[in-house]
Amino acid sequence: MSKFKVLIKKLYKQKISSKSFILTTLLYLAVLSGFMFWSEIKDLIFSGDADTVAVVNETDFDIAQVLLDTDDVEYVYVDSGNIADKLKDGDYYAAFTLSDADGKLAAKIESYDPLPLNDQKDFQSALSQAGQLYAMSQMELSPEQQQLLLSSEPVITLNSLNETANDGKSAEEKMAGVWVSYAIGIIIYIFVASYLSMITTDVASEKGSRALEMLLVSVKPEVHFRSKIVGVFLVALTQFVILFGVLLLLLRFTDGGNKWSVVTDLLNSLSISYFLYIVGFLFLTIFMYLIIGALFGSLVSKVEEAGQVMMPAMMLTLVGFYVMLTGMGNPDTMLIKVFSYIPFTSGMVMPMRLGATDMSAIEPIISFVLLIATVLTLYFMSLSFYKRSVLTYSSGGIIEKMKTVFKVTT
Amino acid sequence: MVLQLKDVTKRYRDFVAVNRLNFTIEKGEIFGLIGQNGAGKTTTFRMILDLQDTTEGTITWDGQPIKSVSRDFLGYLPEERGIFPQMKVEEQLYFFGELHGMDKSELKKDIDFWIERFDLEEKRNVKAETLSKGNKQKVQLIASFIHKPAFLILDEPFSGLDPVNMELLKNAILYLRDQGMTILFSSHQMDNVEELCDHLCLLKRGESLFSGSLLDLKKQYGKTKLTVRTDKSFEVLSNYPGVNHVKMERDSQAVLTLEDEKYAPEIFDLLSNGNYIEKFSLDYLSLHEIFKEKVGAGLV
């Protein structure tokens, strides 16, 4: 077995069997399962606990056709009277009093405790819809006219005259792109943060325990550097496959396949090239941060200093993550465009632009080429620096450590 | 001739760590590299191990540049102890062996042999971080030579060891030498160097003060250490001819440092005055004393 393989085997075995890997994988699986089974869990915990909302309808309008019972809310239609007492006693969660105000529906929402924001929004939304129907009912429209009004959304066709731009995506495709990109951004952020920390700590620990000196007698620093990057990448890939595999199984075999069909519909609205870009950006970004992590790990003298040197790289990932989050609201801003070209953030930001905006085919290619060039440049620069830093012990901040390396090895 | 350093220099910008160092180590011998902290020992080791480049000069193994020789012929025990704290003892030894291209089946016999020899049987499946300092050192020493290197470098192998473990390690080093291994080692404990080394190199601030056989070094100073048992006072002994220094010890024993061994017969006559004398021993200076004399000159 080559030295490279021996080093990878040791690292892989050690990391896969470590408590932290097992616990974080279990934690992610628990979160995934919780997310997938949320409705069942909610039913189990809050079973039969649909909130009762009393409705006092002082109009002639049949409000029951609008206010439909859900898993969370059950409407009861009552006369005004002892509502305040029942709200106080907890018999009713809230009460609506509906009346006519010059042809419009007037609604008063009462509750004993102030309502949570979500409930406020839900009730207002339901009542707003009821208000529209009430207004229509006041106009004495025929059923056909009512139907026409209800289905009055315009038929919109998008057409971009710029020939270099891709065919315009529909709003649905863009929304799907936003959500998939959001998920990808989170995956990249979590994996980069976890495995950047893993590789930095691992190199720092070997250097701090001086085991590295013994290792470097038999393996060249470049082989050691490569083995760390590939080894940690394989650990990351293993965790990714486990999580992704379980997610697919859960989607496929729970909820009678309903979730699976939602996901396939979502994925069908996205192109193959989009997925190829996503995979490329995901792996290259992780590789890039692993290179940075190994380099930073080689700068410290003991494992306790690993957190300190990791900070700048963590900040970069955080910046990328937050910029990506701003794109959830509007993915077409200048901020998103600029950061989608910066290699340290493009992995998280460009997928958002790819999925949720219309842009020319050359833009993601430029961003991808920039990322590849950065990864290669970083790799060769780090390799050269790693050879010098890995056996140099110094104190101070990251800049001071770098200066020491240059001083004692030049 | 196996290892040869010729005019080896290591310079960092404005600091010379090693300056025109020359020495040769023959096959199957134990060679000592001694000097104070910061003398350039570890830098020299690292250049031999190709962990650092030389600024000038050449290092060859069997006439070939050391960079062109496979790394598997080398074994190294660093000064600062370094093993993987989370790995079990046996696992650790297999790992280092495999790293040098050996199969598990090849390694088993040797690992069993050394674990037994170093009395580590009970610690075989214990994580390294739980071991005592002495046991960690034993494990690391085994790890450094488990692949049977032709050339072994030991940087301060005895530091922090109790006398029993020190003896165990010393015997192991002699055993490895008898197996044909060439060994270069450094130590601050001169009695160990004296006991184990055939040849040595004395370093001071990167400069070689001496390189050659231990006996030749001692001959440079001659037999100038005279130990006597006498009731004569310090003043009387100090006034004897050719006496540079007198150190009074317990049990009426005194150690005289002579200017030259030719004064010894005259001092014998003065001390004995034709009568029986219980102790009169003329010897070479110990390596410890030569080290203090050569390396410590101008420092104390």
CATH number of the domain where residue B254 is located:
3.30.70
How far B186 CA sits from the closest chain A CA (Å)? 16
Residue B17 resides in a domain: yes
- What's the whole-number mean pLDDT along residues B225-251? 90
Domain co-membership, B201 together with B233: no
Domain co-membership, B279 together with B212: no
- What's the whole-number mean pLDDT along residues B84-105? 91
- Give the CA distances from residue A87 to residues A46, A80, A91, in Å, rounded to whole numbers and listed in that order: 20, 12, 6
Q: Is there a contact between B51 and A217 if contact means CB atoms under 8 Å apart?
A: yes
Closest alpha carbon within chain B to A390: B51
**The pLDDT value given to residue A156:** 65
Residues B267-295: tens digit of each pLDDT: 999 988 888 888 999 998 888 888 888 77
B140 in Cβ contact with A215 (< 8 Å): no
Phi, psi of A54 (to 5 degrees): -85, 135
How far A242 CA sits from the closest chain B CA (Å)? 25
Q: What is the pTM of this model?
A: 0.76
Residue B97 resides in a domain: yes
Residue B46 resides in a domain: yes
Sign of CA dihedral B280, B282, B283, B286: positive
Domain co-membership, B107 together with B227: no
A287 in Cβ contact with A376 (< 8 Å): no
Domains of chain A, earliest start first? 50-150 (3.40.190.10), 169-409 (no CATH)
Domain end position, chosen among B170, B200, B218: B218
**The pLDDT value given to residue A164:** 54
Domain end position, chosen among B190, B218, B246: B218
Q: Is there a contact between B51 and A216 if contact means CB atoms under 8 Å apart?
A: yes
Query: Of B212, B77, B88, B75, which is closest to residue B158 (Cα–Cα)?
Result: B77
Count of beta carbons in the 10 Å neighbourhood of residue A17 = 9
Residue B288 resides in a domain: no
**The pLDDT value given to residue B298:** 47
Residues B160-209: tens digit of each pLDDT: 788 888 899 999 999 999 999 999 999 888 888 888 988 999 988 888 88
Residue B64 resides in a domain: yes
Q: How far is CA B227 from the centre of its chain?
A: 26
Domain co-membership, B167 together with B241: no
Range of the domain at B268: 223-283
Pairs of residues, one from chain A and one from chain B, whose beta carbons lie less than 8 Å apart: 66
Residues of A whose CB is below 8 A from B76: 213-214, 217
Paired with B65 in beta bridges are B60
Low-confidence ranges of chain A (pLDDT < 70): 46-48, 155-172, 269, 394, 407-410
Domain co-membership, B146 together with B186: yes
What would the two tokens of residue A231 be? 């080894």
Domain co-membership, B55 together with B166: yes
Residue B289 resides in a domain: no
**The pLDDT value given to residue B4:** 93
Which of B13, B82, B86 is nearest residue A214 as measured by Cβ atoms? Answer: B82
Domain co-membership, B157 together with B66: yes
Number of domains in chain B: 2
Which of A3, A210, A213 is nearest residue B99 as measured by Cβ atoms? Answer: A3
Query: Of B22, B8, B23, which is closest to residue B55 (Cα–Cα)?
Result: B8
Domain co-membership, B172 together with B44: yes
Residue B200 resides in a domain: yes
How far A215 CA sits from the closest chain B CA (Å)? 8
Return the residue in B47, B49, B69, B84 with the most chain A beta carbons within 10 A, the one to mutate for interface testing.
B84
Domain co-membership, B43 together with B114: yes
Residues of A whose CB is below 8 A from B100: 218
Is the pLDDT assigned to residue B53 strictly greater than 60? Answer: yes
B71 CB near a chain A CB, below 8 Å?
Answer: yes
Q: Among the residues of A60-210, which ranges form H helices?
A: 83-89, 117-138, 143-150, 171-208
**The pLDDT value given to residue B59:** 94
Paired with A383 in beta bridges are none
Domain co-membership, B113 together with B145: yes
Strands (E), B55-150: 56-61, 64-65, 74-77
Rounded CA-CA distance B125/B122 in Å is: 8
Domain end position, chosen among B218, B237, B270: B218
B12 in Cβ contact with A408 (< 8 Å): yes
Rounded CA-CA distance A207/A215 in Å is: 10
Task: Classify B167 as helix, strand or coil.
Answer: helix
Residues of A whose CB is below 8 A from B140: 214
**The pLDDT value given to residue B285:** 86
ipTM of the complex: 0.77
Tell me the pLDDT band of B18, cut-offs 50, 70 and 90: very high
Q: Is there a contact between A210 and B96 if contact means CB atoms under 8 Å apart?
A: no
Residue B145 resides in a domain: yes
- What's the whole-number mean pLDDT along residues B118-145? 91
How far A409 CA sits from the closest chain B CA (Å)? 7
Domain co-membership, B206 together with B233: no
B166 in Cβ contact with B138 (< 8 Å): no
CATH code: domain of residue B16: 3.40.50.300
Domain co-membership, B201 together with B267: no
Q: Among the residues of B32-132, which ranges form H helices?
A: 41-48, 89-99, 104-117
